[in-house]
Amino acid sequence: MIIGCTGNYEKTNFYKIIEKLIPFIEKSKHTLIIDDEIPFEKSFDKVKSLDEICKKCDFLITIGGDGTILSTARKIKNKVIPIFGIHIGGLGFLTHSNADNFIHSLKEIFSSNYSVVDRMILKTEIENTNKVFYAINDIVIDQGSSPRILETNVSISNTHLNKYKSDGIIICTPLGSTAYSLSAGGPIITPWLDVISITPICPHSLSARPILLSADDEVKIDFNDEQIGMKITIDGQLSFEIEYSDKIIISRHDLNIKFINLNSSDYYSNLRNKMGWLGNVR
């Protein structure tokens, strides 16, 4: 196998993992290629740009937190390369391997005890502009620097759904359901479902509740009032102001993101662990 490696090299533990990863891969008679953006001090001749890595590798290791996976997926764009995450961040739901068990996890991969799973991506367009973005987790529209309540008109496949009066709304994938949407009261969605979730942020109405839509639906958002400072944020990483006259269209992207899923992994066990569910709370 040819394995690419990238990650958040600003984290101290990143280099501790790299120093174990290189000899293990070489001993396993596979090839490791490291992203040339990583300031790796030790001599290592297999260093390429991420673009070159994606053309050659069978899968891509990312070392970091969920944010590292999101930024990596954005960098590789339409190159559909399976991603295997080694977690060294805080609370994270996109990775199942960590500094303690990644060697064992890689042994499972090399023994073919894994599958490649597809997870949906959302395409976000600003109508009448050339602005197009892709979200793996979520799209957040909020009042930004304005102190005013944000009024958003939401239509689903050309049918009016609701006018939300709130601090904003979150449109997310099942993967993103355990991110900002969860904090705002949205549901946890198992990642293999094909649905889109809309969750209002601090709505000014008790009747405003999260809703699940078909992944085939198109979500269109516009605004009633002239308001400055409104903002759209993609995956918590790309953020910019929008105009009250903008119309935002969100739909499922044609491509999916691919993850390596170990056959021994258990989504619900991982969820219980991340959420701290004890099973005996009264």
How confident is the model over 183-218, as pLDDT tens digits? 999 999 999 999 999 999 999 988 899 999 999 999
Please determine, for residue 56, whether its predicted confidence score (pLDDT) is greater than 80: yes
280 pLDDT higher than 90 = no
- pLDDT score for 82: 94
Determine the pLDDT at residue 52: 92
Q: What is the mean pLDDT of residues 63-91?
A: 87
Q: Which of 40-54, 177-191, 232-246, 264-278 has the lowest mean pLDDT?
A: 40-54
pLDDT for 70 beyond 70: yes
How many helices (DSSP H) and strands (DSSP E) are in the chain? 6, 18
> Residue 282's pLDDT band (boundaries 50, 70, 90)?
low
Band of the pLDDT at 130, cuts 50, 70, 90?
confident
Write down the pTM of the prediction.
0.90
Which tokens is 76 given? 């590789």
The predicted pLDDT at position 225 comes to 75
Q: Which of 35, 66, 138, 235 is catalytic?
A: 66
* CA gap 161, 174 in Å, rounded: 20
CATH architecture of 2-113+263-275: 3-Layer(aba) Sandwich (3.40)
224 versus 280: which is more confidently predicted? 224
Q: Which residues contact 254 (CB under 8 A, 6 or more apart)?
A: none
Beta carbons of 44 and 73 less than 8 angstroms apart: no
Cβ neighbors of 277 (< 8 A, separation 6 or more) are 271
Query: Would you call 66 a catalytic residue per the annotation?
Result: yes
Domain boundaries 121-254, corresponding CATH code: 2.60.200.30
Instruction: Classify each residue of 202-241 as buried b or exposed e, where b means 16 or more C-beta atoms within 10 Å of its C-beta.
Output: ebeeeebebbbbeeebebbbbbeeebeebbbbbbbebeee
- Three-state DSSP state, 206: coil
Would you state the structure tokens that stand for residue 188, as one six-digit string? 């946890």
For the chain, give the mean pLDDT.
Answer: 91
Domain limits, CATH 3.40.50.10330, in the chain: 2-113+263-275
* Per-residue pLDDT band at 228 (split at 50, 70, 90): confident
Lowest average pLDDT, out of 85-89, 223-227, 236-240, goes to 223-227
Ranges for all domains in the chain classified under CATH 2.60.200.30: 121-254
Would you state the pLDDT for residue 42?
Answer: 62
pLDDT at 269: 87
